[in-house]
Chain A
């Protein structure tokens, strides 16, 4: 069953057609990779899923309900979480606090005044956060202020912030960009290990990452999906070779 159904989505910035009649269907429980050259419109497409942008035309249905015109926090509350291309974390707060905050959103909803009890009295929230921190390997650093983390750790932290909410759909925008080989492998390993039941959309440049993770690949070029299918089909597709993979990656 398709958890996310994207139909004929168009988005233009001034004269630039960033998305041109995009169709996409993401099956529940799978990892769906979106690849394509820089400027192809990949991040723009994700922005249309989380309420950052509204497409000019077309529809985006999540579990049979439209995601268009509702606010980012409402979209998150329906079960969509996103890891950004540049990590969006709470840099002034500790790692543990960073992960407890999304857990509060999950348990208490979009707005609740809880001003008398202490944070510490919510043991279940702390437990949720610590469990995920163990999974992503940041538990030992839980009291560190997150601004001092390495780029790789910031990514891992942002992933933990999404995973603690146990979303139905997790969007990852270039989760390994700028990472060392070792860090990249760690991230791949992490994504294979945790949240295995969560449907994921991964935007990625690294073909090694894509082919290790993806059940399905869509290739985006100049705002249009030029190919889609199983990794093996994509590897052999001459159109894709030409548009994106070139000689070196394949």
Chain B
């Protein structure tokens, strides 16, 4: 499994695995140690890792990846309804269906590159979103969303157990997927997803993807047929999105079209760029941070704000609420937008570039190392 990986990569993977498994502990100081939020970290981490395989490596910026997230959710819920509440078949089915969907959309969108590619993916995603509300209502259940119901077929489950009175819950061979078991199921898949991405990045295939990003013309005149490479990356990232989507359904067996909206597609772009496109850890970091702050800021409103500043004199309190108010609650995306702009302007390599710079300063302060060793290590860190 580890064959060929460098010592640094093995350490990185082991460190990542420990950090992921210890997430409840690590998130405790910032008050994020409850399963619902931790699950989101893991699920959107997977989404961002997959998105990074396409955007971070090949440079093809898709604005429609939420479509695959949504398709993964629908497919998983259908598996729950039709076959079994066991999560394994649902996840596999979700990944496969989004993979096929990605193959179709990728095949068409990749006939163009640059902004035209982005617009094609956006158009497909919006089309899927609209179809989910109109023509496809038999599959998607329209605005209500696809839900479990008492009279679902569940052919396998019915063979073995008598159905209870309430709605059944998702399970892993009997272990209910709510609370911490649900989180750890997502967490294990996050670790696997990370490992696959590590292998891809270190493989000849990953090298070709980075070469496509740098100079597609050179790739063609070097004897590579670049389109199937980009399409493979597109399908893999679509499958990652499908995995994330089916996990959303595992933790809450319900699928709605809003998951496919363009804002959701934009969010994964932000996560990846915020953390550092093309790096291994960056996108996961970006996903975690955005979900964490979304959770904090979007729950605030003016009333809560003025309560938390109640120790201040009235006029100061009012001013602060007036200034901060627009950025919390519904206005959270405004704050996100500003942070994003700052990152793109001052730290185009994302948070990972920031960490690398800090690391560089630190090493130079420490002295002793040659500059070459420094550059090599910072490059390593950036990867």
The chain A residues found within 8 Å of chain B, CB to CB, are 50, 71-73, 76-77, 81-82, 84, 88-93, 97, 100-102, 104-106, 108-111, 113-122, 125, 143, 161, 165
Contact = CB atoms under 8 A, between A and B. Distances in A.
Interface string B212-254: 0111011111111110110010000000000000000000000
Given A93-B210, A117-B4, A119-B204, A110 B225 contact: yes
A88 B213 contact: no
A115 B214 contact: no
Contact of A91 (B5, B203, B214): B214
B203 A116 contact: yes
Contacts, number: 107
A105 B223 contact: yes
A180 B211 CA distance: 30
B225 A73 contact: yes
A122 B204 contact: yes
A39 B225 CA distance: 31
Contacts of A120: 4, 6, 202
A37 B335 CA distance: 59
Contacts of B218: 88-90, 161
8 contacts: A50-B221, A73-B226, A101-B222, A102-B222, A110-B224, A114-B205, A118-B203, A121-B4
B199 A116 contact: yes
B214 A92 contact: yes
B265 to A, nearest CB: 25
Interface residues of B, number: 32
Contacts of B204: 104, 108, 114, 117, 119, 122, 125
Contacts of B94: none
Contacts of B232: 113
B214 A82 contact: no
Given A50-B221, A121-B4, A115 B205 contact: yes
SS of B interface (majority): helix
Looking at B6, B202, B211, B218, which has the most chain A CB atoms within 10 Å of its CB? B218
B224 A105 contact: yes
B135 interface: no
Given A101-B222, A105-B222, A117 B215 contact: no
Interface in B1-50: 3-6
Contacts of A92: 210, 213-214
B200 interface: yes
A50 B222 CA distance: 11
Contact of A118 (B4, B217, B219, B220): B4
Given A104-B204, A116-B199, A72 B221 contact: yes
Contact of A165 (B210, B223, B226): B223
Contacts of B376: 143
A72 B224 CA distance: 9
Contact of B220 (A71, A101, A122): A71
Given A72-B221, A73-B220, 11 more contacts: A73-B219, A90-B210, A90-B215, A97-B211, A101-B207, A114-B204, A117-B203, A118-B199, A118-B202, A120-B4, A121-B4
Contacts of B199: 115-116, 118
Contacts of B207: 93, 97, 100-101, 104, 119
